Structure 1
Amino acid sequence: MNAPRRVERASRLRGALLVPGDKSGSHRALMLSALASGQSTISGLSNGQDVAATSQILVQLGAERIDEPDQVVIVGPRSGLEASQRPLDCANSGTTMRLMTGIVSSIEGSHQLVGDESLSRRPMDRVAVPLALMGARVSGRGERSFAPLLVEGRERLRAINYRVPNPSAQVKSAILLAGLNADGPTHVQEDVRTRTTTEDMLVRAGVSVRSVEVDQGRTIEIQPGRPLAQRWKVPGDPSQAAFFAVLGLIHHDAQIEIRELDASAERIGFVSVLARMGGRIELTDVAETGNLVCESSDLSATEVRASEIPSVDEVPVLVVAAAAATGTSVFRDMGELRVKESNRFEGSMQLAASLGCRVWSEGDDFFVEGVGSSDAFREFELDAHLDHRMVMASAVAATAGRGCWIGGDTTVASSYPNFFDDLARLE
């Protein structure tokens, strides 16, 4: 176990930065490239360990990877991916395990998907159930199907009409990827819209995908087919940008610009939340990508619903913003936080309490009574439980507040290896 990292308060923050390529887009660009026949290129690929795990598994299944100075080349085998005799190591990546389970479900043969200690505590029944309905055999430990997962894939799966019981872009994506090799059109219904990265990229790769919005939800239909090789350009990851956006708002003397982000509506819900709190935050030059400019602000409390932040990845750092605000913020329907890399529901409350806030919960809702300014934060110590987002949220609070000691900081390598370097460049 590495010694805790000390993060000091910064007196002033200025600068512009590029965050890593979008993790969601990076995983999917690799997967669709490997499923295609022939050569695809990917620029802007995330350099995090989670994405590296996806890449390694696809190579095991028969794809070829060639690293060039400004891009990665993926060559999909003409005859398609094939089962590997070795376990498929997903490391700490839930995205890798869930989406790869969808892919290998339609690759004839036996597949074993394994993960690290943290990933092995995350339930996989949400993907196991619909994939079993499609004809794959998916089994794990216990009723919740914890890893390691054993998957018996079939070359041709059954098309299904499936309603996703809890909002999850990963579960939706696993079904859609399996649907590429189904015996007819597969339909996925979601009551709350989640990010459309998978659908958008499938369409770009030539797959027939149709979406119909119904009330707050959406129904997606995918026709079976093989993706076409593409030239992919992955924009910056909004979930990583959220850390620097909050830092720019709550620090007493800050001006930060984050460039070339994925600006799709489902990915930038946190921007609306922060603007509603009174943040001086602006998304500029919006086309497929955008730039985010953030300046020191006095924030007020707000109510945040999970439907505004569909992946809830940005919630830990939004809790830091709530801690610096005046008034009591409410985080609604946040039960999904309990099954992330760590229990982020408890971890987010613990972080806010460490900063000096009064916190409490009622069912899947929790409340944060802000201290009015990051200048009023306490110095603190926190064990991030090997959760990269809790590490980065803690570092944001410490940089704007009075410093801290963070345990488990090396886990930022899973998604943002250069996070602390980029943080230092702003000081």
Structure 2
Amino acid sequence: MGTHVIKMPDIGEGIAEVELSQWHVKVGDLVVEDQVLADVMTDKAMVDIPSPVHGKVIALGGQPGEVMAVGSVLISIEVEGAGNLKESAAPVVTKEPVAPTVEAVVESKPVAAAPRPAPAPACQGPMVAREPGERPLASPAVRKHALDLGIQLRLVRGSGPAGRVLHEDLETYLAQGQSNASAPAAAAYAQRNDEEQIQVIGMRRKIAQRMQDATQRAAHFSYVEEIDVTAIEELRAHLNERHGASRGKLTLLPFLVRALVVALRDFPQMNARYDDEAQVITRLGAVHVGVATQSDVGLMVPVVRHAEARSLWDSAAEISRLANAARNGKASRDELSGSTITLTSLGALGGIVSTPVLNLPEVAIVGVNKIVERPMVIKGQVVIRKMMNLSSSFDHRVVDGMDAALFIQAIRGLLEQPATLFVE
């Protein structure tokens, strides 16, 4: 028997150190060639580290959250034969983009690694018993989905890597009739004194760092305006009824993209990037709209390029394509970089008002809140109208408050009189 020592690989682009995000193995595990051993994270990407050999894990070189230098010992594996006489660098597989900013994402490719065995369940079927206080692996989106369905996540067997609970596992759980409603009613009123500490590492750390950097560097201010979207919703419904089957359904987002394009003709200072180190503002003629998208791996901003040259249906198709690519971890670097202004929306969860954080180095972000029906007074008559707020943020270092207000008022006018979106 011998020992094969794997060093932290050189991932390229001048990176000298990376963060160890997650181990997929532990000491004593048997591994096969191409099985994923660990996830590491650079400033730009999540990377899988697969095993180049068959063998048994005998030592791990670090703990999740630890920053390790390129070339340091990552893992030692006992192998048949003499092992490697010299330490070797592990192969790497770019896994998925991690940064919600415009310039710090690398290309994402699907991982083609050997399947990892999931932890053995304590019982058969979709239900699994975990130790008290044990936190199942799941993304924030899956946790919210479970909460909405009334499912105790700790009871659901995960089919993902390392036993991660996926959306489809929740559906399987419900289909088997193992809902939370079957638990004793008294359990809902039992006293709890447990605590849970969650280390901020990996992608969550990167998002936290970038959000903190944005709020510390830019002088944020927000402006909120109420918009009557009754007319544009009627137009959207009409277009979907007439052309939806042949051209695809329209959401409100492509109309908002169109409104941005038209309004930016009079407010080019909003379609800009600010290099605060060089003290240079770059205004761009092309309108590359970033559309903030929540995925299982965190916030991403795929970019609708040259929105100024797209029709409603072209924008709608591109928004849908990019959102699906981002959620599936298949968006490329080009699709996740280069935006000039960002549009963010939580859809039906949009709330009444929000304070979106700028996507640096951009100087403006337009936030969409939910549509609600409310009584409004029009020409002395009380009528029911569909109302929506735009909650937008700007970089006060380069955008004046009056200009920001006029910009949002221009968008309001376009959306309330939707014919003006298409009048040249």
TM-score range, shorter chain: under 0.3
Whose relative contact order is higher, 1 or 2, with alpha carbons under 8 Å and at least 6 apart? 1
More helix as a share of residues: 1
